[in-house]
Amino acid sequence: MPGLLTITLIQTELHWENKSANLSMLEEKIRAIKEPTQLVILPEMFSTGFSMQPGKLAESMDGPSVQWMGKMAAEKKIVLTGSVIIEEEGKYYNRLIWMLPNGQFGHYDKRHLFAFAGEDKFYAAGSKRLIASVNGWRINLQVCYDLRFPVWARQAPRAEDKTPEYDLLLYVANWPERRNHAWKTLLQARAIENQCYVAGVNRIGNDGNGIYHSGDSMLVDPLGEVRYTKAHDADIHTITLQKSKLDEVRNRFPFWKDSDLFSIQ
């Protein structure tokens, strides 16, 4: 229906550096979704976990993980998104794939690399945002550590019609439990300051380095109210967003019109 967007957040444990096991597990979860949905969101590096072994795990854009995404998107007639390790022109990227059911896709390369874990030593940073569109909704796609940098997500009026440039801000993540207070707080902050819905999809369980992830996947509304969250347990949650409620908030509290204008070099 016009004005509605139904999304499904998949919070799950990941098999460490085991693509076939992860793709099989996620295929089962996606096929188990009974409710009609338009967009299914997987965690960051969903086929491997957050690994610093791109030389061993990276694949090309016609590799098994991207092909699998195309198969699942076509089978379920959904948009499927999540990030994987991609090699391109001799560089490695933590790349979010936006896969359409007709096999077409877009991608976003993670801009902010997590130097604390050495990600910047193995991966190349992206330089461009990707704002996709589904059923009239504009969706800003970002990855994990990007969440800490509000300028990269900052809403700005579109040149053509002076309306906000996006409606939903989406983060896929492998965010450790030891810093989950920041994760939860910043997801709400991004929603409030950008007057948009925010979805954050995180993994659960221990990774191959023994780091525990509590999930805390979340859907936040434009006023910063948490409409869904789940900690520690695997979960598949489907929720429908209403454009009319978003428009009501923006019209009643048009704070976005007073924002500072700037460009990022």
| Complete edge-to-edge strand list for the sheet that includes strand 235-242 | 105-109, 91-99, 79-88, 39-41, 4-11, 235-242
Looking at the domain assignment, is residue 264 inside a domain? no
Q: Which residues neighbour 23 within 8 Å (Cβ) at sequence distance 6 or greater?
A: 47, 64, 65, 68
SS3 of 190, please?
Answer: helix
* Residues annotated catalytic, as ranges: 44, 110, 144
Looking at the domain assignment, is residue 32 inside a domain? yes
CA dihedral 65, 60, 50, 112 (to 10 degrees): -130
Contact 39, 241 (CB under 8 A): no
Q: Are strands 105-109 and 91-99 parallel, antiparallel or unpaired?
A: antiparallel
Looking at the domain assignment, is residue 201 inside a domain? yes
Looking at the domain assignment, is residue 202 inside a domain? yes
Over residues 196-212, mean pLDDT: 98
| CATH of residue 201 | 3.60.110.10
- Whether 130 has a pLDDT exceeding 90, the answer reads yes
Give the separation between CA 157 and CA 244, rounded to whole angstroms. 19
Q: Report pLDDT for 178.
A: 97
Looking at the domain assignment, is residue 251 inside a domain? yes
Residue 265 pLDDT class (50, 70, 90 cuts):
low
Over residues 140-167, mean pLDDT: 92
Looking at the domain assignment, is residue 227 inside a domain? yes
Looking at the domain assignment, is residue 263 inside a domain? no
Hey, what are 183's tokens? Answer: 């994760």
- Whether 257 has a pLDDT exceeding 70, the answer reads yes
Predicted model pTM: 0.96
The residue range of the domain holding 89 is 4-258
- Whether 113 has a pLDDT exceeding 90, the answer reads yes
Give the separation between CA 89 and CA 235, rounded to whole angstroms. 37
The string of DSSP codes covering 10-41 is EE-B--TT-HHHHHHHHHHHHHT--S--SEEE
Looking at the domain assignment, is residue 81 inside a domain? yes
Cα 166 → chain centroid: 14
Counting the structural domains of the chain, the total is: 1
Neighbouring C-alpha atoms within 13 Å toward the C-beta of 178: 4
Task: Please give the mean pLDDT across all residues of the chain.
Answer: 96
